[in-house]
Amino acid sequence: MPAPVMLLSELEEGQEADFFALLSEKQELTTRDGKPYFRVLFRDSQREVGLPIWADSPLANSCRNEWAVGDFFKLRAKVLQTNFGPQLEIRRIRPVAETDAKDGFDPMMCLPVSRFDPEQMYAELAATAKEQIQDEPLRQLVLDIYDTNRVALLALPAARRNHHACVGGFLEHTLNVTRTCVHLAEKYTDLYPDMLPPLDKDLIIAGAMLHDIGKLRELRTSAAGTEYSAAGELIGHILQGRDIIREMAAGREIDAEKLLRLEHVIVAHQRLPEWGSPKPPMTPEAMIVHYADDLDAKLNMVVAILAEDKSDGVVTSRRNPMSQSFYRGGV
Amino acid sequence: MPAPVMLLSELEEGQEADFFALLSEKQELTTRDGKPYFRVLFRDSQREVGLPIWADSPLANSCRNEWAVGDFFKLRAKVLQTNFGPQLEIRRIRPVAETDAKDGFDPMMCLPVSRFDPEQMYAELAATAKEQIQDEPLRQLVLDIYDTNRVALLALPAARRNHHACVGGFLEHTLNVTRTCVHLAEKYTDLYPDMLPPLDKDLIIAGAMLHDIGKLRELRTSAAGTEYSAAGELIGHILQGRDIIREMAAGREIDAEKLLRLEHVIVAHQRLPEWGSPKPPMTPEAMIVHYADDLDAKLNMVVAILAEDKSDGVVTSRRNPMSQSFYRGGV
Amino acid sequence: MPAPVMLLSELEEGQEADFFALLSEKQELTTRDGKPYFRVLFRDSQREVGLPIWADSPLANSCRNEWAVGDFFKLRAKVLQTNFGPQLEIRRIRPVAETDAKDGFDPMMCLPVSRFDPEQMYAELAATAKEQIQDEPLRQLVLDIYDTNRVALLALPAARRNHHACVGGFLEHTLNVTRTCVHLAEKYTDLYPDMLPPLDKDLIIAGAMLHDIGKLRELRTSAAGTEYSAAGELIGHILQGRDIIREMAAGREIDAEKLLRLEHVIVAHQRLPEWGSPKPPMTPEAMIVHYADDLDAKLNMVVAILAEDKSDGVVTSRRNPMSQSFYRGGV
Amino acid sequence: MPAPVMLLSELEEGQEADFFALLSEKQELTTRDGKPYFRVLFRDSQREVGLPIWADSPLANSCRNEWAVGDFFKLRAKVLQTNFGPQLEIRRIRPVAETDAKDGFDPMMCLPVSRFDPEQMYAELAATAKEQIQDEPLRQLVLDIYDTNRVALLALPAARRNHHACVGGFLEHTLNVTRTCVHLAEKYTDLYPDMLPPLDKDLIIAGAMLHDIGKLRELRTSAAGTEYSAAGELIGHILQGRDIIREMAAGREIDAEKLLRLEHVIVAHQRLPEWGSPKPPMTPEAMIVHYADDLDAKLNMVVAILAEDKSDGVVTSRRNPMSQSFYRGGV
Amino acid sequence: MPAPVMLLSELEEGQEADFFALLSEKQELTTRDGKPYFRVLFRDSQREVGLPIWADSPLANSCRNEWAVGDFFKLRAKVLQTNFGPQLEIRRIRPVAETDAKDGFDPMMCLPVSRFDPEQMYAELAATAKEQIQDEPLRQLVLDIYDTNRVALLALPAARRNHHACVGGFLEHTLNVTRTCVHLAEKYTDLYPDMLPPLDKDLIIAGAMLHDIGKLRELRTSAAGTEYSAAGELIGHILQGRDIIREMAAGREIDAEKLLRLEHVIVAHQRLPEWGSPKPPMTPEAMIVHYADDLDAKLNMVVAILAEDKSDGVVTSRRNPMSQSFYRGGV
Amino acid sequence: MPAPVMLLSELEEGQEADFFALLSEKQELTTRDGKPYFRVLFRDSQREVGLPIWADSPLANSCRNEWAVGDFFKLRAKVLQTNFGPQLEIRRIRPVAETDAKDGFDPMMCLPVSRFDPEQMYAELAATAKEQIQDEPLRQLVLDIYDTNRVALLALPAARRNHHACVGGFLEHTLNVTRTCVHLAEKYTDLYPDMLPPLDKDLIIAGAMLHDIGKLRELRTSAAGTEYSAAGELIGHILQGRDIIREMAAGREIDAEKLLRLEHVIVAHQRLPEWGSPKPPMTPEAMIVHYADDLDAKLNMVVAILAEDKSDGVVTSRRNPMSQSFYRGGV
């Protein structure tokens, strides 16, 4: 009877089991005393464990010639504590086969994922649109864009690196931004009842939900990671997001000015030209979406920097995507 | 029996009444056909009405030699509609006397004021501190700073120009920022339960309430308007606000690291060195306060720009404190 | 028998004739000795002549109450030399009527126009596309965009102000850029025969012809002048030009990469983000179009600055759209 | 009878022959398994081939102690295909001797060279000056500067790195710029016949030919490569180029304003102060030369980046002298 | 017997006398009640007094048609106190004649001058060179440049506007810089005895004395004021100063490296490219001269701003050549 | 009888002696042929000498497991010349014990120190304050700040890296700045006798002495080196220096405006916001201190760069704290 198929992230120390994993790194290195080896890392969505493959290992040949980063494997192995931290001890390893699907293999199970359930986040976003966007054609436009791209959105990261770079990251970031925007839209609608033109809550919610929708075309995500598409490189998600909206809006009965304002929210959401926005926010709605977006992205980066920085002292190193130090605590 | 003392802003067209007003502007001008006159404006907290004083007016001499911008007057006058808009027709005018206080004169009644009641805003802020700041010494620090400066805070504007430049403006802006910060502190505390060091909601609330506290020393407000103090010019409200906190904290049992983090929120709240912050936000708390503050100030500026811009076309002129156009509507 | 209808720009000194003209300026002024008058300017496409309308003129009332800048008139008048330069002496003046069209009235005859014939420039551009663009679908795309917008293109200026701001200005600027691009495409194709991917002359020509095509939507031109449309303000001609291309390309058999490269030429043609390009030129073709475009626009500005600057000395003032001095000559 | 002296770049695989070569690189390295060796590269003008020199090689001692980068050698060797690409197998090697000149040795034969014949480029430039520069003293000035520096100009690169960094590179770049300038000078002279001062084609051609002439003094070129001279570092080619012109012009009958305008073309040709130009282009002639120069230099860099970039994906890495990605193709 | 010829700056109130003066300003204005007049200002080196010339004045015609700014006049007049400050009451006025020289007329007597005697400043600079510059050829170079340009240097301002813009201003600024440099050269030579290359005091002194020498060619000074020459505009005093040094050094026995270092001091003395220096200071000597120069120029500007600013409050306005406020005093 | 305790920096080649030293570096490395070793460096205040500790050395174990950078040791060793420069040959080595103090051990003897005696520099600064600061309360304030922090100031470096990063570095830098300021204060007081407000020499001297006083709190110095304190990171020495002054001034009879001006000198002494000054110098005194400070710091950096740069050629590499090349000499 075969060992049960478990998850790498469930394995306890010393427990031997079968599991599926993604080869996420493979580097050819040399020890201090000149011994060559491959350092390889296997991961599922929650955990990443490595091991060295020495030149005299029975796996050495396969490792050198057959294993490629981004490939999926079925392993029988145990996780052992060593002086170099936890390491895998591999009994068997073979590439994933089609028939593994029936044992529960799914490439997504091996990618880093949001701590939140994509389905639930998607549902909350859809519900927000339904409840909060009063203008019927605008609401329908937002919902149709989501519905049409449902499968891709469930998996999409928010960025290739830097912030929310995980399965479901797009939805996590978008949901955060949308929640903040609901709060701000209500606050400022109350605060400025006489504004002309009046603050348009619908636009703020729609803008929050669609501000990064161009990532659908800018990024190309596969098991091996996320890359920019050619159009992502040459055109960029800001313009591509506006394309998605215009294509979906074509032929609908949507108010022309409202659509233009929505396009502007997308175009201006990065605020600065050097961050990719050809126009600065010229409406309060665009301004609110920008702030909610920028704060959520930056805060996610800070959380990651504080979690990952290895330097000593009261502050982190400056070598991180924000090029500044952050405070760790201590006086 | 004297005419009842009313408010300028209550007067209906053609109604003659006594009221108190501030001389808010006095300019010596010439008509197109070479006739010299003074253009003067009188205001109370809600309304500003002007009139020309011609060289042959019985008021001409007093106007030229005695009236100064910032002086308060008791007038008996009516407001009339003219081709040049509403104008005052003055029957009597004399400087305010000490005894006018018993008829209800108060300099504050003549200054532009927040649409919100300063007492209520103050109360909401104090209540927020009491309910939301868990750390006792920190909570007490915040409350004592507010109590000690209660009278000044009730009247303080948020800035000399640009945003919330009215009586109560400090409280209005601070309350907006604090409300947003309560929302964000709760959201992100939930979102990142494992952050190290943990996100400190206390600090965010205290930072929101105190971020601009240095305006107490930077600005010098009188009936004639708001100016920078000498120390405001040479040192600036960011450093002065930190002084207020350090002075109040001296000798208290407040955790040294917590106090340092609070000082940092103040020091970093403008984010960029060219905006006056010698350090960028190096903690998530400082980052959150910065975003909430910046959005509220900018949005208030946009509201004012849209309300005041006189140019034609779908967008405003760029000659405004944000040096860019804003969209008015229209396709 | 009526006086023959002539052109204002044909009138010799002292000659009285009927002509059509646009009221291009109307200002209420006062002489040094306090006399009020209106200064008005009438223009046709080549010449602009003014006169003062004194308060006691029989035209004074119409001028004040009825004449608006941008209106067209039929005048009977002569041009006289005065101490203040040439001035009109008006015998009769009335607004243009519909029936004037049969006497040859056409609003275009009153606007500043390119020194070059729009029809000929259009024809040269179309011929260039036909001869130089080898790829059939790309060539057809360019030609169809031109054909579809033929009437608008013949009149379109290249910009609201700054450079080529006249009827036909778009074609004049585009033709200059296209001619330079033909030269450069040939030179550099010869120079780098081994480049990979090979330099694509088709793309350079198509990019040159379409780089500013979004001005069709960004600008709104009428007899009263050129303004930005709402979408021009909020989105901008770079994105709008790409829209025109994508809309026309939809459903055609055009190579996807070629279309993407063409879109990139449009998106990148201003090079710097602060000039409106969200991406820098990432292909040699985009780089060549940028240089040819930028040089032609800047040179046209310099020519205008040298022609119009009124300051003394060997160099012009810095108060011009390029914010620097230019050399007039002299040692 | 000795083996015939061939060129390294002519050798076919396996063919043994004598040839002259420059030692262009020598690095002390260690293999993965800790074995030390020298990696050396030999080159002629068209081809660069390397080999490892192991510690136990008979060449090891000479290599370590005697061979220096920039030295010339006569080798008898063959080129063999290996797993690491083509490598030399050396039979004999000795430093070049004076008498090798009679066998055709010339240091220039070992340096990277322009694909174009320096003599022909020089001739075309001289002919252009003769035909296109109408003003006799100016034409003679340009020609005399070229004649006086003929030998150096034939070998000069256009830059130490970045663009046209090869023997003849100066002439190649200058010829490109001059050809573009001839085209632009003719186009814009036609286009703006009424410009004041008139566009001066002579100046444009002379400026194009001389814009980088200061490289003669800024760069110090030897077989070992190109370095900056001390004056190149402390003063720079822009000022040094103007020196060359002023020294040659001293005592000639050249119009003072024309000379000043020519000096300005040199001084302003980099346009931006941070690129080394103390003054921006203040004449149309300086502007035209700048654009033609900048485009040619940048395009040459892009060609090299596309040819040399080793990264994967649709775009190149950003680690190149232009600090941005370029598109390789693919969708 | 003629009235004695006095100086305008010596006249006491009500005293009538003959004096020479420069017409420094002439503006055609209108009073508030529409009366046209000319406002004219006359000055000598210490004092500037104006008067209105009304249309009915006997001087009106000459003023309108004959008087030009920059002309010199002999006046018989008195200075009277009026409500508009001191004004001239003119009895007689005629243009200066050649024969006035014998009565002491000298155009220089009418220009603003340094508070220090140019001859003495010149002498101190020459003495400093003689005493402090050890290297004989370098010392002689500096002295010869001064001697050759003695007359011009005595009158030269340091700048057209901004700092030391008066007769003798060049010498005043240069002397300040040189004195500071002597101090710094001595201090830092003592401080860093082991520096390699050793700090060269000679170079610092020579650099201080010559750093602005190009102003001789950049500026064109006449009684009517200081303007930039054409070469000043197109080339600039940094390059022109280096020219003067190179021309004077040509054919001398001056150490090549020393001369290069001196040229570099001149080239780098503004430090930043946007301030006109194509190279930053790359030697300690250039750095020292830059700091001494920059401080002296800036301080002179601050002194003038504090003396001339007319705004109220504890700080000056920002509308001054340094675009920032300065503190006047007060708390 | 024990070997006499000497200084490492006194040892002659081959001389064996006992001495105290700090372990300033320890790196685990591998030779080219794969042999692992530790490279360690020992230093006293004047000299740093290293040696390799091979795996088979009797010291290998202690080195790997016990020695830490920043520890002090007593060694018996000799310095020998080797092919790799001077190296230590260690006979005995043990950690410093408490009783070593009686043999003269003092941690300071092992740190890099200023070439000048801290006590003498301190004395000169105190004397300068006494002689030059006329205002009694200001003078006493400065002296009391120095006295209170005497011990720390004697050891404090001027910066963690970059300039004067050695024991006594604060005093060395401050003394240089103060001397320059005395010179400049005298010069400019003489030069501008009429300035309003008058130039305040007291303030310049006090500002010079206190400009960096916040380093006392920003830096944390130990034998193992200098680090930033938490408050140094989050607040910075500019604000901390002002704190020290305000705390010491509290309750004293010091003129309020004078204190404010002094605080401003500290706040503004870095001049640019991106260098940490929230306000630019708004008084001449602040401007003078800034220039004297900046020059001294930059010059110290240049001296160090020239001394330490290892690259070839006439100029240094750009990889240094000033990110530019410096000239070494040579033509």
pLDDT tens-digit readout, A162-219: 788 888 999 999 999 999 999 999 999 999 998 989 999 999 999 999 999 999 999 9
Confidence class for position B104, pLDDT limits 50, 70, 90: confident
Residue F131: helix, strand or coil by DSSP?
Answer: helix
Residue F308, judged by CB atoms within 10 A of its CB (0-12, 13-18, 19+), counts as: exposed
Is the predicted pLDDT of residue F67 greater than 80, yes or no?
yes
Nearest CA in chain D to C315: D282
| Contact residues on chain C for E34, CB-CB shorter than 8 A | 32-34
| Touching subunits for chain E (3+ Cβ pairs under 8 A) | B, C, D, F
Is the predicted pLDDT of residue A3 greater than 60, yes or no?
no
CB E108 within 8 A of CB E128: no
Q: What is the mean pLDDT of residues C95-122?
A: 89
pLDDT tens per residue across span F235-252: 999 999 999 999 999 999
Is the predicted pLDDT of residue B85 greater than 90, yes or no?
no
Pick B331's closest partner by Cβ from A184, A256, A324. A256
Q: What is the pLDDT of residue B209?
A: 98
Nearest CA in chain C to B317: C233
Is the predicted pLDDT of residue A60 greater than 80, yes or no?
yes
Residues of F with CB under 8 A from a CB of E: 176, 179-180, 183-184, 187-188, 191-192, 195-197, 256-257, 260-261, 264, 280, 282-284, 287-288, 291, 294-295, 298-299, 302-303, 306-307, 315, 324-331
Q: How far apart (Å, rounded) are the C-alpha atoms in residues F206 and A252?
A: 73
Is the predicted pLDDT of residue D54 greater than 70, yes or no?
yes
Confidence class for position D33, pLDDT limits 50, 70, 90: low
Average pLDDT of chain F is 91
Q: What is the pLDDT of residue A34?
A: 61
Pick A291's closest partner by Cβ from B176, B183, B295. B295
Whether C329 sits inside 8 A of D197 (CB atoms) is yes
CB F205 within 8 A of CB F178: yes
| Touching subunits for chain A (3+ Cβ pairs under 8 A) | B, C, D, F
Q: What is the pLDDT of residue C5?
A: 87
Q: How far is D34 from chain F (nearest CA, A)?
A: 5
* C289 torsion bin: left (phi>0), alpha (psi -120 to 50), beta (else): alpha
CB D60 within 8 A of CB D78: no
Q: If we measure between CA atoms, which residue out of A216, A179, A201 comes closest to residue A284?
A: A201
Q: What is the pLDDT of residue F302?
A: 95
Q: What is the pLDDT of residue C305?
A: 92
CB A125 within 8 A of CB A178: yes
Tens of pLDDT, residue by residue, chain E (331 residues): 455 689 998 899 889 999 999 998 888 877 656 677 888 999 888 888 989 998 889 999 899 888 988 889 999 999 998 777 789 999 999 999 989 989 888 877 888 889 899 999 999 999 999 999 999 999 999 999 999 999 999 999 998 877 888 889 999 999 999 999 999 999 999 999 989 899 999 999 999 999 999 999 999 877 667 889 999 999 999 999 999 999 999 999 999 999 999 999 999 999 888 888 999 999 999 999 999 999 999 999 999 999 888 777 899 999 899 999 999 998 8
Is the predicted pLDDT of residue A223 greater than 70, yes or no?
no
Pick A195's closest partner by Cβ from B283, B303, B331. B303
| D80-84, E151-155, E245-249, F183-187, range with the lowest pLDDT | D80-84
Whether B331 sits inside 8 A of C230 (CB atoms) is yes
Q: How far apart (Å, rounded) are the C-alpha atoms in residues E58 and E39?
A: 15
Is the predicted pLDDT of residue D43 greater than 60, yes or no?
yes
Whether B229 sits inside 8 A of E32 (CB atoms) is no
Residues of C with CB under 8 A from a CB of A: 230-231, 233-236, 238-239, 242-243, 246, 257, 260-261, 263-264, 267, 272-279, 282-283
Task: Dig out the tokens for C97 from the structure.
Answer: 């009527």
pLDDT tens per residue across span B166-181: 889 999 999 999 999 9
pLDDT tens per residue across span A133-158: 999 999 999 999 999 999 999 999 99
DSSP H or E stretch at residue B48: strand B48-54
* Cβ within 8 Å of residue F2, ≥6 positions away: F18
| Contact residues on chain A for B187, CB-CB shorter than 8 A | 176, 179-180
Whether E234 sits inside 8 A of D282 (CB atoms) is yes
Whether A315 sits inside 8 A of B288 (CB atoms) is no
Q: How far is B36 from chain E (nearest CA, A)?
A: 6
Q: What is the mean pLDDT of residues D169-180?
A: 97
Average pLDDT of chain A is 91
Mutation to test the F interface, candidates A29, A32, A309, A323, most F Cβ within 10 Å: A32
Is the predicted pLDDT of residue D45 greater than 90, yes or no?
no
| Touching subunits for chain C (3+ Cβ pairs under 8 A) | A, B, D, E
Q: Which is more confident, A30 or A80?
A: A80
Q: Do chain E and chain A touch with ≥3 beta carbon pairs under 8 Å?
A: no
User: ipTM score of the complex?
Assistant: 0.85
| Contact residues on chain D for F325, CB-CB shorter than 8 A | 233
Q: What long-range pairs does F7-11 form, CB within 8 A, spacing at least 24? A: F7/F44, F7/F46, F7/F109, F8/F42, F8/F43, F8/F44, F8/F46, F8/F47, F8/F49, F8/F79, F9/F44, F9/F45, F9/F46, F9/F47, F11/F78, F11/F79
CB B231 within 8 A of CB E331: yes
| C222-231, E263-272, F303-312, range with the lowest pLDDT | C222-231
Q: What is the pLDDT of residue C223?
A: 61
Pick B234's closest partner by Cβ from F236, F273, F282. F282
Q: What is the mean pLDDT of residues F299-314?
A: 88
Percent of chain A exceeding pLDDT 70 equals: 96
Is the predicted pLDDT of residue C33 greater than 90, yes or no?
no
Q: What is the pLDDT of residue E32?
A: 59
Residue D197, preceding peptide bond in cis (omega within 30° of 0): yes
Q: Which of A285-289, B26-30, B71-75, C28-32 has the highest mean pLDDT?
A: A285-289
Residue C222, judged by CB atoms within 10 A of its CB (0-12, 13-18, 19+), counts as: exposed
Pick B299's closest partner by Cβ from A287, A294, A302. A287
| Contact residues on chain F for D34, CB-CB shorter than 8 A | 33-34
pLDDT tens per residue across span B185-209: 999 999 999 898 999 999 999 999 9
- C268 to A8, A231, C187, C293: CA distances (angstroms): 47, 13, 22, 12
Whether C330 sits inside 8 A of E233 (CB atoms) is no
Q: Which is more confident, B74 or A34?
A: B74
pTM equals: 0.88
Average pLDDT of chain C is 91
Q: How far apart (Å, rounded) are the C-alpha atoms in residues B17 and B40?
A: 19
Q: How far apart (Å, rounded) are the C-alpha atoms in residues C60 and C52?
A: 10
Q: If we measure between CA atoms, which residue out of F305, F303, F322, F165 comes closest to residue F228?
A: F165
Q: What is the pLDDT of residue B24?
A: 84
| Contact residues on chain B for C30, CB-CB shorter than 8 A | 32-34
CB D298 within 8 A of CB D213: no
Q: How far apart (Å, rounded) are the C-alpha atoms in residues D262 and D276?
A: 17
Is the predicted pLDDT of residue D222 greater than 80, yes or no?
no
pLDDT tens per residue across span C40-88: 999 888 888 999 998 889 999 899 888 988 889 999 999 998 777 789 9
Q: What is the mean pLDDT of residues D216-236?
A: 87
Mutation to test the C interface, candidates D182, D201, D295, D301, most C Cβ within 10 Å: D295
Average pLDDT of chain D is 91
Nearest CA in chain C to B331: C230
